[in-house]
């Protein structure tokens, strides 16, 4: 039976993690088409941190419940024609709302949990793996045997991208700032590791590829990392602009893509499906198949109770996260 209140992490003002408080609020009756999910686990993503400062492209009205993704059990639904039932295990995606004991969602936000994942893994799956899949498969049209360089490979999007690129038959070069982050990328199957804190990643990639360069570079970091990517992209390669976790935008000298015959491709994985729902659904279905066939898994670096969400966001801000951080709620 559903409780009458829900504990939740609420961002009260645009002042970073310290403005996030835990409150217990009464549950509201569901409206037509809505589902109530008892969240068992929810995962942090970099945009959660950006949203606490109002620096993300999506700017929810204050106050708002943080949390883009989770996994749990359907406890109530107001959708008589649904193919989901009470008691089903689902993953739930949204822009906000997942750092709570109960999340209200619509049908479009739900998906059946892949049968190879636990609640914690499923909670940490949809944002990063869909971003990796849309980037590598839908945008870069990755082919088996290609060489893919993943920057920030020990972070959420980075680790998922290593996993997806390996499952698609690529040779993967993982680059990150510490040995611990590189060890995580290795666990997901990376073939070569570069510590870009100690080594120049562009020259290392040139050595590994006998000066051919990487066919695809996936960049969730931005700034000078993006700029350096142009030094090690192969002829007709594709550079995927996924994020700016380093806090700076890169500057593009347009002669370089021209000289290398390469493409620089912007990615917004969520918007990809919103603009073209059929393509978004197809990409997600292909991803679930790839996940189940290849046992793809997000790697969880740290688990937190809901009460410590502020500390979890601060760890992300300090660049002190390996793999995914998960809030365990049940």
Ligand X SMILES: NC(=O)c1ccc[n+]([C@@H]2O[C@H](COP(=O)([O-])OP(=O)(O)OC[C@H]3O[C@@H](n4cnc5c(N)ncnc54)[C@H](OP(=O)(O)O)[C@@H]3O)[C@@H](O)[C@H]2O)c1
Contact criterion met (CB below 8 Å) for 41 and 330: yes
Piece in contact with ligand X (CB under 6 A), picked from 43-51, 84-92, 117-125, 279-287? 43-51
Of 215-254, binders to ligand X (CB under 6 A) are 220-221, 242-247
Handedness of CA 63, 69, 75, 78 (dihedral sign): positive
Written as six digits, the tokens of 53 are 């400062």
Piece in contact with ligand X (CB under 6 A), picked from 39-47, 92-100, 139-147, 303-311? 39-47
**Residue 102 in contact with ligand X, rule: CB under 6 A:** no
**Residue 42 in contact with ligand X, rule: CB under 6 A:** no
Task: Give the angle 141-291-75 at the CA atoms, nearest 5°.
Answer: 125
Among 177, 188, 209, 283, binds ligand X (CB under 6 A): 177
| Cα–Cα distance for residue pair 82/137, rounded to 1 Å | 30
Least distance in Å: CB of 22 to ligand X? 22
H or E segment to which residue 329 belongs: none
Q: How many amino acids of this chain bind ligand X (CB under 6 A)?
A: 29
H or E segment to which residue 99 belongs: none
**Residue 157 in contact with ligand X, rule: CB under 6 A:** yes
Cα distances from 254 to residues 232, 258, 261, in angstroms, run 15, 7, 11
**Residue 126 in contact with ligand X, rule: CB under 6 A:** no
Least distance in Å: CB of 221 to ligand X? 5
**Residue 280 in contact with ligand X, rule: CB under 6 A:** no
Please identify, using beta-carbon distances, which residue of 74 and 160 lies nearer to ligand X.
Answer: 160
Question: By Cβ distance, which residue is nearest to ligand X?
Answer: 155
| Cα–Cα distance for residue pair 81/114, rounded to 1 Å | 22
Contact criterion met (CB below 8 Å) for 283 and 138: yes
Where does this chain bind ligand X (CB under 6 A)? 45-47, 127-128, 131, 152, 154-158, 176-177, 181, 220-221, 242-247, 267-269, 316, 319, 321
């Amino acid at each position: 039976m559903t409780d009458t209140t829900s504990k939740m992490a609420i961002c009260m003002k645009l002042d970073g993690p310290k403005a996030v408080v835990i409150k217990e609020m009464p549950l509201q009756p569901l409206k037509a088409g809505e589902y109530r999910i008892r969240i068992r686990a929810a995962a942090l993503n970099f945009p959660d941190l950006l949203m606490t400062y109002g620096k993300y492209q999506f700017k929810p009205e204050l106050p708002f419940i943080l949390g883009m993704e989770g996994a749990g059990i359907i406890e109530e639904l107001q959708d008589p024609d649904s193919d989901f039932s009470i008691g089903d295990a689902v993953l739930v995606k949204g822009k906000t709302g997942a750092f709570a004991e109960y999340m209200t969602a619509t049908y479009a936000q739900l998906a059946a949990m892949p049968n190879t994942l636990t609640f914690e893994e499923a909670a940490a799956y949809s944002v990063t793996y869909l971003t990796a899949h849309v980037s590598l498969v839908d945008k870069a049209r990755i082919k088996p045997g290609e060489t893919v360089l993943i920057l920030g490979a020990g972070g959420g999007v980075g680790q998922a991208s290593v996993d997806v690129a390996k499952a698609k038959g690529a040779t993967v070069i993982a680059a990150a700032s510490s040995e611990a982050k590189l060890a995580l990328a290795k666990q997901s199957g990376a073939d070569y590791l570069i510590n870009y804190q100690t080594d120049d990643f562009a020259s290392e990639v040139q050595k590994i590829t006998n000066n051919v360069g990487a066919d695809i570079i996936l960049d969730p970091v931005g700034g000078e990392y993006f700029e350096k990517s142009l030094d090690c992209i192969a002829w007709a390669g594709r550079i995927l602009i996924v994020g700016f976790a380093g806090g700076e935008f890169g500057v593009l000298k347009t002669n370089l893509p021209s000289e290398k015959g390469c493409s620089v491709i912007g990615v917004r994985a969520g918007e990809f499906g919103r603009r073209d729902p059929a393509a978004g659904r197809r990409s997600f279905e292909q991803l679930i198949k790839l996940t189940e066939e290849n046992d793809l898994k997000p790697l969880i670096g740290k688990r937190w109770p809901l009460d410590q969400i502020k500390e979890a966001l601060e760890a992300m801000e300090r660049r002190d996260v390996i793999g995914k951080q998960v809030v365990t709620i049940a």
